[in-house]
């Protein structure tokens, strides 16, 4: 009996089943990604963490990603992206099983950093494998769906917090590891086989001078960092924030479930927000749409810390609206950098782009926690207002970067 595989030559545009399969593999591989922010109040209480230490725990995944993404993605200029993705997918599952064994902050930081390294070898190498040989709006749309799948995976991972409240957080990480193994098997069947780079003209692995000489790429990198920094409050700290807003109601199991669902919805809204932002950018130009989204995000996200003055039900509604707005620039910026990068430097370009973006995620999450500690802790409205204000300032920096784009990419 013959075997059937979804894989196809890397030189051909991937079929819809291949794109869908790899998106599914990505979602499964991210099962453990958001468990820590979903259960952050539980970790703070169990391990007696300060908000700064909680910021380290929530953000260390991004730090691991930041350190590993450049060499791993740069290797796609020389080696098949498929090999890098599969090895990293196995590492991701291993990090989940390791996290389930942790009893204190220090080993947990190590395994969460390992998870970030694994994601660095999965996310952008997977994107490059899918978009190799594809150009124009088709590549932009494939990239939008793939990057949106990252958001879906992060959102569903948030719901594993419910497993943590019912069976314990260790069980949540064990299940996440099992799902990661399933994602590895799907990726093995679906990923295009063959090289993704140009072995005849491979570039020095850490030579970013040609990348930084591209003004379009440089502006989009700053914009991507600002987009990620601008939403860390709503994506990483939302459970702690809503627990503060709920007050005594937070002890009610039903209310705790509502808080987790709202956190998952906020993360999931990155999918429609990213796809809509990408389509609007294709129609009206990336510079125009990205700048508009950044300005709206500066108001929606930057002022969100004042919402505890509203009725609790209104806070839940506003958090969902703000979460949609601040994630509108994820897909269009990534699609844009694929469009303007010089093909021979594509691996180095998306490696540096992703490194800077996730570096901003780490620093933004950590700064948020430090700011909370410096202004009185999670029980103080002023602390939340200033912390979310740092996210608003990041969005204003993103608006300045996209305004400076030399051309309005995709404008018809």
Q: Is residue 197 part of a domain?
A: no
Q: How far apart are CA 209 and CA 53, in angstroms?
A: 36
Q: How far apart are CA 171 and CA 94, in angstroms?
A: 14
Q: What is the token pair recorded at 118? A: 């694994």
Q: What is the DSSP string of 31-79?
A: TTTTHHHHTHHHHHHHTT--HHHHHHHHHHHHHHHHHHHHHHHHGGGTS
Q: Is residue 288 part of a domain?
A: yes
One digit per residue, pLDDT tens: the chain, 412 residues? 443 344 444 445 667 788 889 999 999 999 999 899 988 988 998 899 999 999 999 999 999 999 998 888 778 777 888 889 999 999 999 999 999 999 999 999 999 999 999 999 998 888 888 877 666 667 777 777 887 788 888 888 888 777 777 788 889 999 999 999 999 999 999 887 765 554 445 555 567 888 888 889 999 999 999 999 999 999 999 999 999 999 888 778 788 889 989 988 998 888 899 889 989 998 899 999 999 999 999 999 999 999 999 999 999 999 999 999 999 998 899 889 988 888 888 777 888 888 899 899 999 999 999 999 999 999 999 999 999 999 999 999 999 999 988 777 765 5
Q: How far apart are CA 209 and CA 347, in angstroms?
A: 13
Q: Is residue 371 part of a domain?
A: yes
The confidence score (pLDDT) of residue 368 equals: 96
Q: Is the pTM of this model over 0.95?
A: no
Q: Is residue 151 part of a domain?
A: yes
DSSP state, residue 9? B
The confidence score (pLDDT) of residue 7 equals: 45
Beta bridge partners of 193: 9
Quickly tell me which residue has 């939008």 as its tokens.
Answer: 144
For the chain, what's the residue count?
412
Q: What is the DSSP string of 189-232?
A: HHSPBS--S-GGGPPPTT--HHHHT-HHHHHHHHHHHHHHHHTH
Q: Are 395 and 298 in contact (CB under 8 A)?
A: yes
Q: What is the token pair recorded at 381? A: 């409205």
Q: How far apart are CA 245 and CA 311, in angstroms?
A: 9
> Could you give the number of structural domains in the chain?
1
Q: Is residue 196 part of a domain?
A: no
Beta bridge partners of 9: 193
DSSP state, residue 345? G
Q: Which domain holds residue 33?
A: 16-191+204-403
Q: Is residue 91 part of a domain?
A: yes
Q: Is residue 3 part of a domain?
A: no
Q: Is residue 199 part of a domain?
A: no
Q: What is the token pair recorded at 340? A: 């303007």
- CA torsion, ordered 352, 354, 358, 360, to nearest 10 deg: 60
DSSP state, residue 104? S
CATH code (residue 363): 1.20.1250.20
The confidence score (pLDDT) of residue 151 equals: 80
Beta bridge partners of 300: none
* Residue 358 burial class via C-beta count within 10 angstroms: exposed 0-12, middle 13-18, buried 19 and up: buried
Q: How far apart are CA 173 and CA 162, in angstroms?
A: 12
CA distances from 202 to 11, 253, 345, 348, 357 (A): 18, 56, 9, 11, 25
Instruction: Give the distance, in angstroms, between the CA of residue 96 and the centroid of all CA atoms in the same chain.
Output: 17
The confidence score (pLDDT) of residue 295 equals: 97
The confidence score (pLDDT) of residue 253 equals: 79
The confidence score (pLDDT) of residue 82 equals: 86
Q: Are 395 and 326 in contact (CB under 8 A)?
A: yes
Q: What is the token pair recorded at 33? A: 């990604």
């Amino acid at each position: 009996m013959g075997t059937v595989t979804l894989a196809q030559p890397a030189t051909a545009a991937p079929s819809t089943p291949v794109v869908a399969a790899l998106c599914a593999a990505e979602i499964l591989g991210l099962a453990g990604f958001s468990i820590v922010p979903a259960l952050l109040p539980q970790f703070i209480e169990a391990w007696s963490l300060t908000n700064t230490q909680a910021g380290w725990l929530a953000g260390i995944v991004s730090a691991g990603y930041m350190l590993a993404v450049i060499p791993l993605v740069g290797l796609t200029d020389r080696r098949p992206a498929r090999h890098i993705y599969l090895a990293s997918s196995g590492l991701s599952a291993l990090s989940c099983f390791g996290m389930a064994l942790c009893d204190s902050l220090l080993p947990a930081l190590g395994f969460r950093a390992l998870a970030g390294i694994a994601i660095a070898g999965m996310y952008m190498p997977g994107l490059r494998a899918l978009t190799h040989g594809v150009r124009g709006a088709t590549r932009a749309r494939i990239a939008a769906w793939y990057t949106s799948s990252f958001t879906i995976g992060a959102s569903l991972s948030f719901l594993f917090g419910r497993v943590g409240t019912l069976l314990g957080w260790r069980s949540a990480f064990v299940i996440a590891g099992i799902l990661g193994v399933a994602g590895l098997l799907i990726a093995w069947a679906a990923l295009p086989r063959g090289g993704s780079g140009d072995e005849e003209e491979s570039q020095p692995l850490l030579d970013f001078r040609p990348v930084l000489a591209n003004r379009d790429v440089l502006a989009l990198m700053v914009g991507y960092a600002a987009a990620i920094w601008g939403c860390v409050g709503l994506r990483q700290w939302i459970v702690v924030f809503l627990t503060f807003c709920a007050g005594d109601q937070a002890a009610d199991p039903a209310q705790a479930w509502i808080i987790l669902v709202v956190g998952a919805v906020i993360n999931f809204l990155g999918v429609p927000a990213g796809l809509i932002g990408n389509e609007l950018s294709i129609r009206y130009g990336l510079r125009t749409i990205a700048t508009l989204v950044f300005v709206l995000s500066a108001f929606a996200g930057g002022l969100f810390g004042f919402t505890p003055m509203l009725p609790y039900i209104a806070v839940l509604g506003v958090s969902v609206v703000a979460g949609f707005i601040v994630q509108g620039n994820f897909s269009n910026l990534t699609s844009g950098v694929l469009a303007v990068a010089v093909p021979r430097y594509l691996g180095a370009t998306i490696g540096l782009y992703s490194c800077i973006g996730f570096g901003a995620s780490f620093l933004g999450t950590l700064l948020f926690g430090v700011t909370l500690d410096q202004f009185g802790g999670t029980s103080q409205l002023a602390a939340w207002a200033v912390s979310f204000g740092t996210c608003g300032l990041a969005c204003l920096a993103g608006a300045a970067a996209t305004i400076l784009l030399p051309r309005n990419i995709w404008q018809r």
